Amino acid sequence: MRFVNSSIGYPVGSKLASKEDKQMSAKSATTNEVAGFASARRVNQALTASIEKRALLWMAERTPRWVSSDQLTLLGLGAQIAAGIFYALSRYDRHLLWLVIVCIALNWLGDSLDGTLARVRRQQRPRYGFYVDHMVDVFGSVALMCGLGCSGLVHWQTAIALLVTFLILSSESFLATYTLSCFQMSQGIFGPTEIRIFLIIGNVASLHNAYATLFGHRILLFDLGGGIGAVVMFAMAIAVTMRHTAELYREEPLP
């Protein structure tokens, strides 16, 4: 006697049943894998973290239903790319820096609100959200720094140094999230929002005077700020790498 799979209606021994069973098993395995995925602990100790969290929750609760997290992510990416374009065009008209400021604000809105909106609506997709959000950050940062490097407000070497150190720090954060189950959203008191604030301050200052004086030498304001920022981020990357390496070494000692 041949038994029949009642949920499908095919004899168990048939090729159709075998194929259907494999598909169902694969789907079940995938579902269990997603269900078993644990989100990393989020840590944000930035200066603006507390007030920013309250503001984002307030906005998320009042966001129209037709606005989705994916749309906000696209808004953040588009605004960051636009900021890079306006930076490059500001070489010919410094007043375009005002549009850069608007784009930075829109980037904050899209990049910060997308995850909060998903959590408020209970529509979290932990793996998808983490992957997409951070790849968007990488592409957006490249566009922003390329535009800044073309603006004449900073030398290319400084823009590249800023981009490289940011990517190093980001890479460390991604690896720590996987190995330590802790997503460090800020380093010390500085996070993405603080970086945006510094950029806005630099833009406003550059509209009046693009240069600063250091020890009697005239230097581009963004070269000064960017140089300091690159050194600080590189130092942070080294310090946190050493700390996490020691932590992992203690958790996984040699036998």
Residue pair 237/173 in contact (Cβ under 8 Å)? The answer is no
- Extended beta strands in the chain, E state: 41-43, 182-184, 211-214, 217-220
**Is the pLDDT assigned to residue 2 strictly greater than 70?**
no
Task: Report the candidate in 89, 79, 67, 64 with the shortest Cα–Cα distance to residue 111.
Answer: 79
Exposed/middle/buried for 108, CB within 10 Å: 0-12, 13-18, 19+?
Answer: buried
Pick 19 or 38 by higher pLDDT.
38
Q: Tens of pLDDT along 142-152?
A: 999 999 999 99
Residue pair 165/237 in contact (Cβ under 8 Å)? The answer is yes
User: What structural domains and CATH numbers belong to the chain?
Assistant: 49-183+190-251 (1.20.120.1760)
The predicted structure's pLDDT at residue 37: 55
Q: Tens of pLDDT along 4-15?
A: 444 444 444 444
**Whole-angstrom distance, CA of residue 206 vs CA of residue 204:** 5
Q: Tens of pLDDT along 168-224?
A: 999 999 999 989 888 888 777 888 899 999 999 999 999 999 998 888 889 999 999
Residue pair 52/112 in contact (Cβ under 8 Å)? The answer is yes
- Extended beta strands in 100-201, E state: 182-184
What is the pTM assigned to this prediction?
A: 0.81
